[in-house]
């Protein structure tokens, strides 16, 4: 058990679209991610997924509703089964915190070159 500082953890990596685990709360993972550009359309059949923006502007597209725009201090919860596509503006970097069940795959059931199989813990 130790104090976890978000900025210190963010300083430990620079790769995009590769969430890092910083803690676990009763089976849910707390992750940090840096992203830039467009992700792929996907959903998570069983898991809700929380996106919390630390820096930058995040867009999340949905199939049947308006795109959400999130700025620092904003969060959104993508419910299980709802297809979504995170992306950033003009390829700029966004820093995120994620809260989601530990067994989640960030590309859902889509197998893609971006799919991470074993999340690094930092």
Catalog residues that contact a copy of itself under the rule CB under 8 A.
Answer: 1-7, 23-26, 28, 30, 46-50, 62, 65, 68-70, 73-80, 82, 99-101
Residues in the chain: 122
Closer to a copy of itself by CB, 35 or 97: give it: 97
Closer to a copy of itself by CB, 13 or 62: give it: 62
CB 67, min distance to a copy of itself, A: 11
CB 66, min distance to a copy of itself, A: 10
Exposed / middle / buried, residue 14 (Cβ in 10 Å: 0-12, 13-18, 19+)? exposed
CB 57, min distance to a copy of itself, A: 12
* Dihedral sign, Cα of residue 8, residue 13, residue 17, residue 20: negative
Closer to a copy of itself by CB, 2 or 113: give it: 2
Q: Considering only CA atoms, which of 47, 17, 51, 42 is closest in space to residue 120?
A: 17
């Amino acid at each position: 058990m130790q104090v976890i500082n978000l900025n210190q953890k963010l300083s430990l990596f620079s790769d995009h679209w590769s969430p890092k685990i910083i803690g676990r709360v009763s089976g849910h993972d707390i992750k940090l991610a840096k992203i830039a550009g467009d992700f792929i359309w996907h959903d998570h059949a069983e898991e809700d997924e929380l996106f919390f923006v630390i820096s930058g502007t995040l867009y999340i597209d949905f199939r049947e509703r308006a795109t959400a725009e999130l700025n620092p201090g904003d969060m959104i919860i993508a419910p299980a089964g709802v297809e979504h596509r995170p992306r950033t503006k003009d390829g700029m970097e966004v820093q995120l915190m994620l809260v989601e069940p530990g067994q989640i795959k960030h590309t859902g059931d889509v197998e893609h070159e971006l799919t991470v199989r074993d999340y690094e813990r930092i």
